[in-house]
Amino acid sequence: MLLETLSNAFGPSGCEDEVRRLLARALHDKVDDLQTDALGNLIAFKQGIGAGPRLKVMIDAHTDEVGLMITRIEKNGMLGFQAVGGIDPRLLMAKGVVVGEGRIPGVIIAPPVHLTKAAQRKQVIEIDQLVIDIGTSTADKARELVQMGDYAVFDTRFQVLSEDGLRTAKGKAFDDRIGCAVAAALADGEYPVDLCLSFSAQEEVGLRGARVAAFRIEPDLALALEGTVCDDTPKKEDVSPTTELGKGPAITVSGPFLRRRQTFGAPLDRGRRCPWPALPNQTTWRGGYRCWCHSPVQGRRAVGRCGRALSLHSCPGEHGQPQRL
């Protein structure tokens, strides 16, 4: 399963090489052209069928995941770090990680509960107070394995939880390796439009790759495949305007750039008339980053299509439901 391979891959923002290689290997005999730009975006082109001129449709999914970067090596061999992307410090303690090109295993540690006061235990321990233990006892030993600036990601492996009912799986980096897997699957088809598959880099640190790719491709229409928030866990009163597992992929209809009805109305209407009854869909008013194509590229229309994940940007893993889009 491509999703499993991508989820297990090492690919924090700025270090997406492994993910890019896996996607290139899966796509090379299915598309007409495959290029990587200077920022690290992988762009695949598949020519449409039929007479031209044809519309140019961009499908975008980002390859990077949240992670950590090593910023200091302590005398006792512990590794200080900073977050790469949006990570909640509350979720970090006692989590397993792998560090650097050697994929060195480690554990994020913090002061033990026995040595902290009650008031301290009620406070969130900030990232600069946490360190990674890789089993070394001196800085020199640590430097033999890890260098300043090395990346780390959470040591979480993909696992299918259920093949029945909701067909759920857990793993890391579902945001946005689910989108990458779906976009790659589109290369198997033939379409009356020219298809540009953009696997963009560095989304988690500022939407960098998608903006560059959009300028390069200059699409007539852009469709973004992204992971979105799912918050349908039990609660006394459900007032959360988010998506639910089991109700299909979500179409984002608002966000940092408010869409025109003509942009998202047609996909919504067509979704309701979808000839495949097994493919439900839902809408979400929670905007992700998938609004980039309205403003930077001559006012092109863009629509966000999202897979849902519980515990987004969390560790040891996101819990999501892969969808056939």
pLDDT attached to residue 111: 77
Same fold? 2-65+172-232+240-320, 67-154 = no
Task: List, in order, residues 6 or more apart from 37 with CB less than 8 Å away.
Answer: 43, 212, 213, 216
Three-state DSSP at 295 gives coil
User: Which structure tokens are listed for 110?
Assistant: 């913090």
CATH 3.30.420.480 fits 67-154, yes or no: no
Has residue 36 got a pLDDT over 50? yes
Rounded Cα gap, residues 258 and 95, in angstroms: 38
Rounded to the nearest integer, the mean pLDDT of the chain is: 82
Q: Which residue has the tokens 């690290």?
A: 40
Note every long-range contact of 239-244, with CB atoms under 8 Å and residues 24 or more positions apart, other chains counting.
241/284, 241/285, 241/286, 242/284, 242/286, 243/282, 243/284, 243/306, 243/308, 244/282, 244/308
Has residue 106 got a pLDDT over 80? yes
pLDDT attached to residue 249: 80
Angle between helices 17-27 and 174-185 (to 10 degrees): 20
Q: Which amino acid is at 170?
A: K
pLDDT digits (tens, 9 = 90+) for 155-189: 999 999 887 767 788 999 999 899 999 999 999 99
Q: Are 113 and 182 in contact (CB under 8 A)?
A: no
Return the minimum-mean-pLDDT range out of 174-183, 199-208, 228-237.
228-237
Instruction: Work out the pLDDT band at 283, boundaries 50, 70, 90.
Output: low
pLDDT digits (tens, 9 = 90+) for 234-268: 777 766 667 777 777 877 765 554 444 444 445 44
Instruction: Give the domain ranges of the chain.
Output: 2-65+172-232+240-320, 67-154
- Domain 2-65+172-232+240-320 carries which CATH code? 3.40.630.10
Three-state DSSP at 108 gives strand
Closest CA to 7 of 187, 162, 15, 18: 18
Name the pTM for this structure.
0.82
User: Which structure tokens are listed for 100?
Assistant: 């650097």
Task: Spot the catalytic one: 203, 204, 226, 318.
Answer: 203
Active site residue 203: yes
